Amino acid sequence: MEQDLISKKELLDLTGISYGQLYRWKRKNLIPEDWFVKKSTFTGQETFFPKEKILARINKIMNMKEDLSLDALAGMFSPNPAEASLKKEELLKRNIVSNIVLDIFVKHHGDVEIFDFKQLLYVYVLEKMLQTGELSLEEGKILLSALTEHYPKFQGKNCDLIFVRKLGIATCLLISSPGEVHFESGAYVVFQLNLANCIEELKLKII
């Protein structure tokens, strides 16, 4: 599905930021390079952005830049894991995950007292998707297995988690983002989740 784009001129007019600010944030890695989309128009080549993503990112930058330096913001928006860990009790206390999700994780990995950031991400994503009601507990185990087995191959890179169901049978996969994936007829995409966004959300909760 083709994403809705916004031109650079429209973006600057709508947000009130300057050309200089936009490209300074790009240099600081606050806005990913691949969001700058060059397209030919009747007036020549112009720059466009994925509308929903860029507006959300600029809103976050504007709201947070008074409290955090640009370098700190870049770390927050980076798909790289944080140097952070939490005890199991702290996860529950902060309402990051539920006992149900921890039980699923323990059955899959064994008992864990201190969760590193990767493990925090796995349980956070599982909790997030179970809370939507889109997944059953059994399907949650499939999601956790896919993350555990394949996310380390993408660590530090932008990737999407896709959950698909066909004829009641579920499967889960990770793909590089941006990227295209096509399924056979009758396959239903339950959700497609950008893990860089999940990392960003989780960092805000724990750091």
What is the CATH number for 11? 1.10.1660
Q: What was the pLDDT predicted at 82? A: 62
Q: What was the pLDDT predicted at 1? A: 43
The phi, psi pair for 5, rounded to 5°, reads -110, 155
Low-confidence ranges of the chain (pLDDT < 50): 1
Q: Which of 38, 58, 77 is the last residue before a domain boundary?
A: 77
Q: In this structure, are 113 and 161 located in the same domain?
A: yes
Q: Which of 77, 93, 114 is the last residue before a domain boundary?
A: 77
Domains identified in the chain, total number: 2
Which residues lie below 8 Å from residue 158, measured CB to CB, with a gap of 6+? 32, 34, 79, 176, 177, 178, 194, 195, 196
Q: What was the pLDDT predicted at 20? A: 93
Q: In this structure, are 94 and 176 located in the same domain?
A: yes
Q: In this structure, are 188 and 106 located in the same domain?
A: yes
Here the tokens at position 147 are 């993350």
Q: For residue 172, give its domain range.
A: 85-206
pTM value is: 0.70
Q: In this structure, are 95 and 154 located in the same domain?
A: yes
Sign of the C-alpha dihedral, residues 112, 114, 116, 119? positive
Q: In this structure, are 94 and 152 located in the same domain?
A: yes
Q: In this structure, are 72 and 90 located in the same domain?
A: no
Q: What was the pLDDT predicted at 157? A: 81
Q: Please count the CA atoms within 13 angstroms of the CA of 19 that sit on its side-chain side.
A: 4
The phi, psi pair for 104, rounded to 5°, reads -60, -45
Q: Which of 77, 93, 112 is the last residue before a domain boundary?
A: 77
Q: In this structure, are 105 and 196 located in the same domain?
A: yes
Q: In this structure, are 10 and 96 located in the same domain?
A: no
Q: What was the pLDDT predicted at 34? A: 84
Q: In this structure, are 20 and 102 located in the same domain?
A: no
Q: In this structure, are 43 and 124 located in the same domain?
A: no
Q: In this structure, are 15 and 114 located in the same domain?
A: no
Q: In this structure, are 10 and 41 located in the same domain?
A: yes
Q: What was the pLDDT predicted at 79? A: 65
